[in-house]
Amino acid sequence: MRNPPVIECPHIIVVIPFTQEQVSNMVRDGFGDQSGAKLIEQRGIDFAPSEDSCQTLKAAGASEAFLNALRAAKPPEPASAKKPLNRVQVFALLVGGVPSHRGAIRESVRSALRHISGSGTPHPVDMFGSR
């Protein structure tokens, strides 16, 4: 099996979780064992497995280790449930370089950070542009 697909940006790597179809295909292709379990632990899943789907996978040859990894894997949180970026995360994004067509967003972020700090002390992000 190939390495997990990733989306790479400077300083950011996003691992794409397995779909339900990919998990079924893993079992069909002989990866319903400890090696498949390790892949699920590394990449996660994008669905909530039902007990019926686990029984179907077991009947298709999935091991208990594979099924336990599947049950333990959590689908990603919906975007609305995620916490907003903190200062360090925003700083890391700015250091990584925001494309020029997103300059307006970058300026909005800088303005928000200056407003949040409110201390009058130069914020680290200010070294990347004017106030």
pLDDT in tens, 5-53: 555 555 666 678 999 999 999 999 999 999 999 999 999 999 999 999 9
Judgement on whether residues 94 and 30 belong to the same structural domain of the protein: no
Q: Does pLDDT of 2 surpass 80? A: no
Judgement on whether residues 70 and 100 belong to the same structural domain of the protein: no
d(CA 56, CA 24): 9
The pTM assigned to this predicted structure is 0.53
Judgement on whether residues 74 and 18 belong to the same structural domain of the protein: yes
On the CB side of 44, CA atoms within 13 Å amount to: 12
* Spatial CA neighbour of 125 closest among 101, 84, 94: 94
CB burial string 30-50: b at 16+ within 10 A, e below: ebbbeebbebbeebbbebebe
Amino acid at 61: G
Domain that holds residue 10: 6-78
Task: Please report whether residue 1 resides in a domain.
Answer: no
Judgement on whether residues 62 and 113 belong to the same structural domain of the protein: no
Judgement on whether residues 49 and 99 belong to the same structural domain of the protein: no
Judgement on whether residues 98 and 119 belong to the same structural domain of the protein: yes
Judgement on whether residues 97 and 74 belong to the same structural domain of the protein: no
pLDDT in tens, 66-121: 999 999 997 776 666 667 778 887 777 777 765 544 555 666 666 666 666 554 44
